[in-house]
């Protein structure tokens, strides 16, 4: 038997990691400016993270959601406070796709409607039971019979208003900063109008902060740069620093009832221990301050490279845009310079998603190596 071959692979087998460094089986060290699709928030194998997970697995790793789990309660108490959504409740699941699926479902239960507005070039995960919201033709998007997704252009508030005026929209789902799509983002005027029209029409505003959230943009949630609030916020990736966990933060307008949502593994003891360790390190190490500091250092430094046409994104969710396709450059960075970076639907964009604990010295190493690749 072999693996179902769906991932194009780099010929590297990581064996060990610490901070922003990953070692392969031959002892080669790689600098990680990608974090496995923007997952690594506090750094690989952070000692506090390792300690909490190890201690937890020695006690209890898992039990179903039919018992009291104080770790879930601790997370549900901490997370809304840290994220400035103090009256929101938390539902825990296992991944980003699952978080969005629950968000869309909850919206439908809430207002009895099923149509969804999403935005061109967005990516909200792959599921088949409900909605895999994407307009990427390479990713098949099976829809359940009742759920239909309408794709609008980013920043085109009139198109959104026109659809909402028809009266059958349940929710709008949007990434504050598009990840896989290539780091385009709505402007503040658009987001404010979107918030307003959703509120006035009883449409649920779902902000997908799976990639851009959890500090990556320099604020806890990227939409906080625009001074707006969401009805539901979906989370995953950086939340567990590599341990699979996702969740949705839910406005008090939504009333829970037994069986409304559910999952076997969601919020298990180990996942909660990982998520709590992440928040502890955020606090201890002022991670958000580091994101802001390193981001402005990065921007200043990389602006000096004439081959870079544009730097997109915020915080440590960045994209370097060139006037050529970056696939070869990425390969060179990985195999010759031993640095991981990422790609996106925009083939000219080199994506940079380091651990949020990245240092100035590590940014300098990326800079020097990128510069030498471009010469």
Ligand X SMILES: Cc1ncc(COP(=O)(O)O)c(C=O)c1O
CA distance 143 to 121: 17
Q: Pick between residue 37 and residue 337 the one whose CB is nearest to ligand X.
A: 37
Q: Pick between residue 315 and residue 362 the one whose CB is nearest to ligand X.
A: 315
Least distance to ligand X, CB of residue 153, Å:
18
Q: Pick between residue 37 and residue 338 the one whose CB is nearest to ligand X.
A: 37
Least distance to ligand X, CB of residue 212, Å:
7
Instruction: Say if CB 301 and CB 100 are below 8 A apart.
Output: no
**Which residue carries 């990982």 as its tokens?**
274
Instruction: Say if CB 1 and CB 339 are below 8 A apart.
Output: no
Q: Are strands 89-93 and 246-250 parallel, antiparallel or unpaired?
A: antiparallel
Q: In whole angstroms, what separates CA 229 from the centre of its chain?
A: 17
Q: Are strands 317-321 and 310-314 parallel, antiparallel or unpaired?
A: antiparallel
Q: Is 132 left (phi over 0), alpha (psi -120 to 50) or beta?
A: beta
Q: Pick between residue 175 and residue 185 the one whose CB is nearest to ligand X.
A: 175
Q: Pick between residue 97 and residue 370 the one whose CB is nearest to ligand X.
A: 97
Least distance to ligand X, CB of residue 165, Å:
27
Other beta carbons within 10 angstroms of residue 301's beta carbon come to: 14
Least distance to ligand X, CB of residue 26, Å:
29
Q: Pick between residue 208 and residue 362 the one whose CB is nearest to ligand X.
A: 208
Nearest to 184 by CA among 196, 194, 176, 193: 176
Least distance to ligand X, CB of residue 244, Å:
8
CA distance 279 to 327: 35
Least distance to ligand X, CB of residue 255, Å:
26
- Rounded to the nearest 5°, which phi and psi values hold at 284? -60, -40
Which residue ranges make up the site for ligand X (CB under 6 A)? 37, 95-97, 100, 123-125, 175, 179-180, 208, 210-211, 236
Residue of minimal Cβ distance to ligand X: 96
């Amino acid at each position: 038997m072999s693996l179902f071959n769906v991932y194009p692979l780099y010929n590297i087998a990581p064996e060990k990691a610490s901070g922003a460094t990953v070692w392969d089986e031959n002892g080669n060290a790689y600098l990680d400016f990608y974090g496995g699709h923007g997952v690594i928030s506090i750094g690989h194998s952070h000692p506090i993270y390792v300690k909490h997970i190890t201690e937890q697995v020695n006690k209890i790793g898992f039990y179903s959601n039919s018992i009291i789990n104080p770790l879930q309660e601790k997370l549900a108490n901490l997370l809304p406070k840290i994220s400035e959504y103090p009256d929101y409740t938390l539902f825990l699941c296992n991944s980003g796709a699952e978080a969005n699926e629950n968000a869309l479902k909850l919206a439908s239960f809430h207002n009895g409607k099923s149509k969804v507005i999403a935005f061109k070039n967005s990516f909200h995960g792959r599921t088949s039971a409900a909605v895999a919201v994407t307009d990427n033709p390479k990713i098949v998007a099976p829809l359940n019979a009742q759920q239909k997704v309408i794709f609008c252009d980013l920043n085109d508030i009139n198109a959104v208003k026109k659809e909402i005026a028809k009266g059958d929209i349940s929710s709008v789902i949007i990434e504050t900063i598009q990840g896989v799509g290539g780091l385009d983002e709505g402007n503040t005027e658009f987001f404010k109008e979107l918030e307003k029209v959703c509120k006035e029409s009883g449409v649920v505003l779902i902000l997908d902060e799976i990639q851009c959230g959890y500090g990556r943009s320099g604020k806890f949630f990227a939409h906080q740069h625009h001074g707006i609030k969401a009805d539901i916020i979906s989370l995953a990736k950086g939340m567990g620093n590599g341990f699979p966990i996702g969740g949705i933060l839910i406005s008090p307008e939504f009333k829970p009832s037994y069986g409304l949502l559910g999952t076997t593994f969601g919020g298990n003891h180990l996942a909660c221990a990982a998520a709590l360790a992440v928040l502890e390190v955020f606090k201890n190490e002022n991670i958000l301050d580091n994101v802001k500091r390193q981001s402005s250092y990065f921007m200043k430094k990389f602006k000096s490279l004439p081959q870079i046409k544009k730097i997109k994104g915020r915080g440590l969710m960045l994209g370097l845009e060139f006037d050529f396709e970056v696939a070869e450059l990425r390969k060179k960075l990985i195999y010759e310079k031993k640095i991981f970076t990422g790609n996106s639907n925009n083939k000219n964009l080199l994506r940079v998603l380091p651990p949020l604990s990245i240092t100035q010295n590590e940014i300098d190493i990326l800079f020097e190596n990128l510069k030498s690749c471009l010469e």
